[in-house]
Structure 1
Amino acid sequence: MEVWKNIDWKEFHFLRPEYLWMGIPMLLIIVLGILLYGRTNPWKKKIAKHLQPYVIQKGTTWKSRFIHFSLLILFAIGFVAFLGPTWNKEKSPAKKVATKLVIALDLSQSMLATDISPNRLEYAKFKITDFLKANPRAETALIVFSASSHTVVPFTTDYKIITDNLDGLQPHMMPRRGTGFKALFSKVQSVLTSTEVPSTLLLITDDLDGVSIPEVTAFLENQNCKINFYPFASESGANVPSFSNHKVALRSGGKIVHSALIMDKVKQLEAIEKVSVMQPTLDKSDVKKMATDISDHLMFDKNSDKKDENWQDNGYWLLIPLMALFLFCFRKGWSLMAVLLLVSLSSCNGIEDKTKAKFKNFQFADLWYTKEYQAQQEYDKKNYLKAAKNFKDPMHKGVAYYKAGNLIQARNAFRKDTTAEGQYNLGLTYAKLGDLERAESVFKTLVAENPSITQAQQNLQKIQEAMLKVDKMSVDEKKVGKVKPNVKNKQNDSNEDLGGGGQKATKKDMQTKRQEEEVATGKRKGKELDELPDDFKSGKGSIPKNILMRKVDDDPALFLKKKFNYQVKKRQVEVEKTPTAW
């Protein structure tokens, strides 16, 4: 027992001190038991004194007291072991994950086809999110590609960074149009610098026809990598939307461009070793299976000399006296002590992390009310943000987030609600965000599946009218922007001169100009849109007619778009000449 003789009391502490409060109820139970035990003795006074020696056995009192005292000691030792006493550190080798995973997402124009609802790209984003939630545990990088390939997120195990960047990815961000697999394979090779550890490429695309079999074979020969093709297209296919108006089909050479899955190319790819073609499923089973496969075959860096220095849990030494005391528990009824022993044994392993997570957000109200009831109370008090965090139902969570003004979280919540009411609210939220195209798509689907919802049909018509006004205004702006050749314009070199003629625009001038624009166009910025009516939850609300998509200054997609254009301009990435521009 040298370990106990050399205790450094200056460093002595408990690894789990936050559970000290659990000793209070345990102590109360023990004190209550002692008090109740004292009340069990008065019955002896009811027996005549001359009969007590014949009725009461000698030694019964001290034996029972010894048993209760042993129980008290057993509780104390087990509780101290549970708290994790420590006073020294130990060095353990740190495991570094060497397995790499690259997710390559196609951002060509054909990914906006709607043969997969709501469209191929949005469905692919849902699948990527489900895949990362399944926790493949490998270091993962996200790459987007069209005619050029760009890294959105480098290798990381913090999957939230990837999911946060997924939503804003759209084809219009890409500097060049087309689908260039040769440039993609070159980009993946530059990212996967090491060939010693097997890696995985998850290639999400809808254009398998553009995949060259020799290029795939050459890539696999030079790289220790497995490719999982994930095609997001149906055999019947769909028309590719045009670049300017997604409601109109794209034309090339006078013909409508149609995109479909070619099964012959699927069979050719499946015949290649280390290549698999996944089939999207309606549930999460496909991505869960792939995540499990990657997680089960993780490889770690064996040459890593890095070691972590952690406090050593010395509570396991207390198991020796704990087991010694347990040997005396041979009487009937003491077999219940086995439960206590199991609890004591489990306290010294890694299970405390789950317990800590469970009690991290514990509140006194949790003893009496469920989280849903507490959320409803906060909602009634108009504390919508607190209510949204406790609501589990997507409908209630979405409404609370909407009332709190967090439209992004409201949209994410309504996406999980597959009911007609949930989809109706999703469409309204998209409209509130200014995303008219998605709002139109949601209401179209809702009207097709539930023709009886007349309000949805009315909202769809209003959104389409608003979109036409926006398109018309864009055309008018282009006409106004044309300058006659005989007009002489003087260049304005001053950052403060907003008038163009040397005079500074005052705040009053800007307000007057703003009012004139609102009167002329009948529209206002999205930040000033009218609030949706309070009855929008019931599906009877209406949307404002004068909707104009607002510019979000902190949109990460805008930063990525500028970054991609800069990389192409500076020739930092390879741009492939593709046979098609979609």
Structure 2
Amino acid sequence: MNLPSLHWIRPDLLWTIIPLLIAALLLARQSRQQGAWHKHIDPSLLPYLLDGQRSDKPARSIALLLLAALLAWLALLGPAWQQAPTPLYKNNEGMVVVLDLSPSMLAEDIQPSRIRQARFKLRDLLQLRQDGQTGLVVFAADAFVVAPLTDDVNTLLTLIPGLHPGMMPQTGSNPLAGLVQAKDLLDQSGGNGKILLITDGVNEAQLKGLKSFLKDSPYTLSVLAVGSRDGAPIPLPDGGFAKDNSGNIIVPALSSSELKALASAGGGEYRELSLDDSDIRALNPDAASLAESSQDPSSTSSDRHFDQWKDAGGWLALLLLPLALLGFRRSWLPSLLLPLLLLGQTPQANAVEFDALWQTPDQRGAALLDSDPAAAAEQFKDPAWKASAQYRAGDYAAAAESYAKLPGSDAAYNRGNALAKAGKLDEALAAFDEALKHEPDMSDALRNKKILEDLKKQQEQQQNQDQSGDGDKQDKDQQSQSSEQENQQGQDGQQTPSDQEQQGEQGQPQSDQEQSEQQNSNDQKEGQTPPNQEQPDSSPQEQSESSAEQKKAQKEQQDAEQRQTELAEDYAKQAAEQQAAAAEQKNDANPDEQSEQTALAESQQPLSEEDQSKEQWLRKIPDNPGNLLRNKFQYQQQMRQQRGNQIERENYAPY
């Protein structure tokens, strides 16, 4: 400590010494007036009347109390003799990235493809932003939130590789829905922010609605264009290219003029994707300047930081601890602190309720999902997230029950996986059948169903072999049976008709039940007629026109569903290949761990042949974490349809 460099951080609190001095004078005066005789005897005679053995304990207590008050006063002023560099500027502005996941992003006019280049740029952008919060929204026919505004860049980086047009519930392009979701996120944050749109184009019909939205939006919009003006066909998983209703190959090109007009209406910048990072630096100048200044060796520390005094008042507060111990010993400090402690006591339940004011149960569950999925499952109210947490926690039975409450093919598929993990093969097969009933072309369900069917056949063959061995043994025993057993067999044969009647009585309700189930399934199929197929009373000409429009809309919807199914298959295939490649890399990189695991498995109790075969087949069921977002989007899409939310046709494009 250097006294010439001593600095007081809060000198405006020097006036607090005045009440401290007044309190010290009052205490000193009171100490001189201790005892009850001074009220009745003249003070000048008290020394001659008393025995002279006056106690000095009150004076010591008052001295300790005054010393503690002086230390507290000095700590309050904030003494400091060292300085520490502090960042000169911190960017608290939020930014929401809106990524286009329409089918046109699969075009390969820029290598390897538009969507991959967009993912690369998004990753570079997140690494460039060293401060501020970032959110992520994706859109196709509708928009969904991948991640709310957060400063955890690593979490966003782990989500980027799984973004693919095949994960969206419905194909199409609706950028207005993405901008609406981005505006909602920025409104919830309550601060300034901006929106970055990464897309390959919008049409003129969409541009009108987008400009109207930006006119009322307080946030700026910048555009990063992906693609080329020549365009390229949209590849399909089967090797062909996407075609329109006339059979012509669709070649989406970059609509730079519309995107420039959109960026101008949003008050932001327009940049086309470049090979270097000049595009993202122009779209995010604050982060770029901060990154350049931190990496530039010629820039001094004073350009980026300023020196701030370090408050050393906390060290003076530590000197109060010995005085507090003396105060406890003399019993006057507990009498002062007891009322404060009683006022400061708060039940733990109130703290939990206080946290609940700021976080929803789903948000608390999402925070616990990676570290403690079992606790996260108890927090989640959303059934889809709850089922996913239960599955991660290994509670497959509970996960199957939760998935059973969700509608749709994905929920049935996930329920089948949970039942298969729980060892309930028959129920798992029924769940896969239900998923295929909703979506007959679901490749994952077909593959897992075949795996379980092969496993079940293998188990049945093994059981038949065991029964045949037991049957040979029983035949040898039957040859040595006596005539009394033959009589018993005859008696048993006489009882057979009654048994058959009982079996017939038991079989009759079962057949009735099957008939009722078939009737219910037929009723459900009849009740699944879309509302848009209902025709009101109108003239024959209007009915023919309405029928033609309905047929055209149905054909467009069927084509969109077919394209989305193909994209989903391609996405699942790519995810499986990535998972297999990661597993191979892990196996090649960690041979020692494999040997340790093998030795550990050999040291444990060996499994039976049936358990080994079951474990072998269950390991073949893919467990891709990237499907979590896909299932989430599918569930949100179903909830929106149940609420009657419809996509406005003027804001929608097929690709």
Greater Rg over alpha carbons, structure: 2
Normalising by structure 1, what TM-score? 0.41
